[in-house]
């Protein structure tokens, strides 16, 4: 059975002491209330806080993910972080192809594909983001865009490699805007993505792939989004910066 996942993308937020407080707040809440069965929580802090978070995660309440990785093995890439480094720090997941990286740092589908390869080579599971911008949705181009992102970013993988992939559908018009996709819009796109995977790798692989929704997901709308058969959880931005909100979202399955 595929996992339900709630992953918190902290982006470039919080001082170290605030980040420490957030993780210990999440731990306190999870000590009082267990996560629903088959639910995995992932925290994706900024690079400098990974070690603090992996230290906490030894108590196994959650797994740790990075927000980015370089697409080269190692070498003279000042300021960059490799998949090998992340692996050596017990990081288990990494976000790739987030719309902010696509928009501000030129992350193309070809770069996404190379980052995915680096992660898989280093036993880290990629959380691969896809999603259309507002004009594309208004022009009814959302399926074409997502098909291209998934095909060009992921479909070079073997079925065995693809089994490591988590997908996050994040309509860009819903990220940080307070505007959420309706449960029907989310379900429609998630079913489309699962169909693409089934056509390429077969039904078994498609059924085993967790597909998360991202875009202004909050404790107040998580339940109706997660109730859809093809929505296997969420990639959470703003609401993951507050322990109670984030844990409440994880309790929404």
Binding site for ligand PEP (CB under 6 A): 9, 170, 175-176, 214-217, 235-239
Taking the least distance from each CB to ligand PEP, the nearer of 100 and 206 is 100
Q: How far is the CB of 76 from ligand PEP (least distance, A)?
A: 31
Q: Which residue is nearest to ligand PEP (CB)?
A: 237
Three-class DSSP category at 10? coil
Nearest CA to 248 out of 36, 45, 52 is that of 36
> Which DSSP state fits 238?
G
Is residue 98 among the annotated active site residues?
yes
**Strand 93-96 vs strand 39-44: parallel, antiparallel, or unpaired?**
unpaired
Q: How far is the CB of 166 from ligand PEP (least distance, A)?
A: 13
Taking the least distance from each CB to ligand PEP, the nearer of 167 and 175 is 175
Q: Which of 100, 107, 170, 190 is catalytic?
A: 170
Cβ count within 10 A of residue 229: 9
| Contact yes or no for 184/143 (Cβ under 8 A) | no
| Distance of alpha carbon 140 from alpha carbon 1, whole angstroms | 33
Q: Which of 98, 107, 136, 190 is catalytic?
A: 98
Taking the least distance from each CB to ligand PEP, the nearer of 146 and 206 is 146
Taking the least distance from each CB to ligand PEP, the nearer of 189 and 236 is 236
Q: How far is the CB of 226 from ligand PEP (least distance, A)?
A: 14
| Contact yes or no for 196/147 (Cβ under 8 A) | yes
What does the buried/exposed string (b/e) look like for 182-210 if buried means 16 or more CB atoms within 10 Å of the residue's CB?
Answer: ebebbbebbebbbebbeebbeeebbeebb
| Distance of alpha carbon 201 from alpha carbon 134, whole angstroms | 30
Taking the least distance from each CB to ligand PEP, the nearer of 206 and 234 is 234
Q: How far is the CB of 62 from ligand PEP (least distance, A)?
A: 17
Cβ count within 10 A of residue 174: 22
Distances (CA, A) of 23 to 10, 55, 73, 130: 11, 11, 31, 27
Q: How far is the CB of 245 from ligand PEP (least distance, A)?
A: 10
Active site members: 98, 170
């Amino acid at each position: 059975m595929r996992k339900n996942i709630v992953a918190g993308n902290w982006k470039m937020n919080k001082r170290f002491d605030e980040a420490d407080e957030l993780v210990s707040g999440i731990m306190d809440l999870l000590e009082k209330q267990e996560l629903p069965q088959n639910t995995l929580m992932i925290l994706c802090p900024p690079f400098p806080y990974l070690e603090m978070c992996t230290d906490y995660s030894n108590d196994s309440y959650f797994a740790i993910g990075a927000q980015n990785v370089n697409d080269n093995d190692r070498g003279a890439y000042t300021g960059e972080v490799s998949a090998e480094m992340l692996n050596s720090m017990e990081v288990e997941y990494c976000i790739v192809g987030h719309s902010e990286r696509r928009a501000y740092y030129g992350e193309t589908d070809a770069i996404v594909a190379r980052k995915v390869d680096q992660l898989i080579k280093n036993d880290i599971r990629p959380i691969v983001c896809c999603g259309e911008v507002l004009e594309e949705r208004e022009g009814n181009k959302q399926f074409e865009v997502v098909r291209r992102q998934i095909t060009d970013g992921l479909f070079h993988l073997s079925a065995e490699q693809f089994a490591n992939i988590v997908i996050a559908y994040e309509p860009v018009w819903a990220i940080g805007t307070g505007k959420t996709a309706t449960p029907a819009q989310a379900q429609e796109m998630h079913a489309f993505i699962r169909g693409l995977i089934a056509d390429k790798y077969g039904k078994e692989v498609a059924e085993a792939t967790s597909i998360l929704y991202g875009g202004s997901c909050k404790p107040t709308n998580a339940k109706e989004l997660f109730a859809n058969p093809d929505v296997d959880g969420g990639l959470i931005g703003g609401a993951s910066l507050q322990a109670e909100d984030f844990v409440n979202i994880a309790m929404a399955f």
